[in-house]
Amino acid sequence: MWNMGFTIPLPSIEMENILRILEIVSIVCIGIVFAYLLRKALFRTLIRVLPQSLAHNIAKATFYTVAAITILIALGTMGIDLTALVVAGGFAGIVVGFALQPILSNLFAGIYIMSEKALSPGELVEVNGVQGYVLEVSVMSTKIRSLDGAILRIPNNEILNTVLRNFSRTPIRRIEFVVSIAYRENAERVYTIINNVLDNHPFILLDPPPEVFVSNLGSSGVDITVRVWVPSELWYDVARDLLWKLKKAISEAGIEIPFTQIDIWFRTPLKLEAPCKS
């Protein structure tokens, strides 16, 4: 055996340092494994109520968040002072939070809408007085085609903070309108004419039954309210057809529909002078 005449000094490792290294490795391994298992469990839970891409992104973001926290804990175990890092991270988080507030509000609103399944493509809805059919529900916004054909993209936060009317979730819808007649007309006769039109319409439901009643005694005439229930998918067609048939029946019966009348009274009598004859 050759003897070169020199030796390589090996650094002495104390038991305390070995235990600290093992502790750090254990923290990192346990944290990463926990983050991975949490990601898998969260994805399996979210996929039941959210689209696959959204569930995957949320689970992935959760994994990286837990992994980052694990690394910070490991650095703290190594004796590294994280105070400045935490303060800087907190300040940066506040700044970014204010900058991304509209985006984050729409993001969480979209997650809530998707989890609640409040909207689905193809449904007829009304948002902020705008009616239309849902085309797409995404994380940030909802795309709706209005009844006049315009394509609207509404932020999800706006949908969440307003009254949402969904006309496609119920099998029947109510049609309501008012028919005004002159005071000189016979209200019972008009009542009979309206009911004859309702009874002969094929799409008006009998349960709930139609309602016809005097709802107001106005300044120019008597208001008669008509309420009927029809299948939801036929609401627009029936409403248009019913108004046409009622107008035709009332006109054929000679019923007078009043115009707005205004009576003018003078405090002092007016003197009317006859024109001078030349």
pLDDT (tens digit per residue) in 35-86: 888 888 888 887 776 767 677 777 888 888 888 888 878 777 776 666 766 6
Q: To the nearest whole number, what is the mean pLDDT of the chain?
A: 82
To 10 degrees, what angle do helices 83-99 and 101-116 make? 80
Class of domain 172-252: alpha beta
Give the whole-number percent of the chain exceeding pLDDT 70: 80
Average pLDDT of 240-252? 93
1 has pLDDT over 50: no
CATH topology for 15-99 is Helix Hairpins (1.10.287)
According to the model, what pLDDT value does residue 7 have? 54
According to the model, what pLDDT value does residue 73 have? 80
Give the whole-number percent of the chain exceeding pLDDT 90: 28
278 has pLDDT over 60: no
| CATH code, 118-166 | 2.30.30.60
According to the model, what pLDDT value does residue 202 have? 92
User: For residue 222, how far is the Cα from the chain centroid?
Assistant: 39
Domain parsing of the chain, residue ranges: 15-99, 118-166, 172-252
According to the model, what pLDDT value does residue 143 have? 92
Amino acid found at 273: E
**DSSP states of 174-194:** EEEEEEEE-TTS-HHHHHHHH
Average pLDDT of 18-33? 82
